[in-house]
Amino acid sequence: MVKIDFGGVLEDVITRKEFTVQKAQEVLKDEVVVSLGYGIQGQAQSLNMRDNGIKVIIGQEKEGVFKKEWDKAVADGWVPGENLFPLEEAAKKGTLKMFLLTDAAQKALWPKIKATLKKGDALYFSHGFSIVYKEQTGVIPPADIDVILVAPKGSGTSVRRNFVDGSGINCSFVVHQDATGKAMDRAKALGIAIGGGYLFPTTFEKEVYSDLTGERGTLMGALAGILEAQYNTLRANGHSPSEAFNETVEELTQSLIRLVDENDMDWMYCNCSETARIGALRWKERFRSATQPVFDSLYELVAAGEETRIVLEKSKAPDYRQKLADELKEMGNSEMWRAGTTVRSLRPEKPKKQE
């Protein structure tokens, strides 16, 4: 590990300079790494490992609602009977089992996966949900296996996209249970193999508390809600859909957030007009004061297990998938996001690279 200064706080991190892909290959050379599930994270992490020279097999059911993921795996070059198998069959073959099913599916299928665990195996998670809320999920690993976590700080789409462009994605990691004495190396090796940009230590509890808060907060829930509120205010005051969308979303995604990405929020402010800067600094305080109680309440509900209870309850309903599709369709069909589709279609085409 190396110590890095994060705004005056020193933290230990793992980078690809001191823990190389070659070292990851060496650590994992005698392992049978199995990705249990070929959803968004399962697809991205397993493809990145395959491209990094790690031997990987896929465990994915192929009937009914699971056929889409099975077909996707086949399209990605995984061969049935060679490195693509039904879930339990693959789990039995693996020594390092990457439990990448949805949280609800992990609860439902845990008894079957648990039965495949052998002394010395490693059980890998990319989310602390099942372990931290074990009273709700029933996921309690046996004492004679390693239990580790590597959690990419982004969607599976970003995990794959960043890997392909060479940048990688930052990941948290932790050893929850070290039965073999090699759990730490296993965790580091997998973090690098799946395309981690750098790895920073956490705990299962901190990972899931921060993740659930972030998803419901600035990353998704709060972001979508704030954008909708501003768009609605502009439309109610006579602004056109095009103007309202451009001032609410397009300028954020195509200009300002890119400046934040390059060199932080203060630098973005310095690259905006004086009028914008003065107003934003003043209103930032009002928005922070208004939302701080909401975030405090959100974190309390996450830590208390209420948010996970709701997830497990809703996801087990027989009509859950249809209800989810209906909710997302309603969002996509709103005037705001229909305007967004049109705005994106009007963006100038990027010039093609010269061969």
The catalytic residues are: 127
Residue 4, φ and ψ in degrees, nearest 5: -125, 140
Burial of 167 (0-12, 13-18, 19+ CB in 10 A): exposed
Q: Distance between CA 103 and CA 126 in Å, rounded?
A: 10
Among the listed residues 93, 39, 104, 26, the one whose alpha carbon sits nearest the alpha carbon of residue 68: 39
Q: Is the dihedral of CA 135, 138, 139, 142 positive or negative?
A: positive
Q: What is the SS3 assignment for 335?
A: helix
How far apart (Å, rounded) are the C-alpha atoms in residues 191 and 18? 13
Where do the H-state alpha helices sit in 76-119? 87-93, 103-114
Three-class DSSP category at 351: coil
